[in-house]
Amino acid sequence: MTRLQDNRLRQIDKDSPVPYYAQVKEALQAQIRQGEWQADDQLPGEPELCRIFDVSRTVIRQALNELWHEGLIVRRKGRGTLSPNPRSAAAWSRSLPAFTRTW
């Protein structure tokens, strides 16, 4: 049983002032940092995450988007959302153009 199936982690506090997407993000972030998924493991799809957390797809997409911006997940067309491979994440960051002032 994965931790996402553990009711304590998938419980969204509907009365909390913390937005739903932030609660989902925090739960997924904890899973990733605790090593629940190995490098390049596929995370559950958006519909499955909606069911697990009992929230809308918009909430799941916003949580995943923030995790992607923080480099905690990788999205690949045709493969879904993956736990990052440290080597591929490092190569990706090196491939970004350097931003310098030109004035």
**Per-residue pLDDT, 74:** 85
Q: Which domains does the chain have, with CATH numbers?
A: 3-86 (1.10.10.10)
Q: Indicate the pTM of the whole model.
A: 0.71
pLDDT tens for each residue of 28-82 = 988 888 888 777 788 899 999 999 999 999 999 999 999 989 888 888 777 777 7
pLDDT tens for each residue of 76-97 = 777 777 776 654 444 444 445 5
Angle formed by the axes of helices 20-33 and 46-53, nearest 10°? 110
pLDDT tens for each residue of 14-25 = 999 999 999 999
State whether the Cα torsion 8-11-16-19 is positive or negative: positive
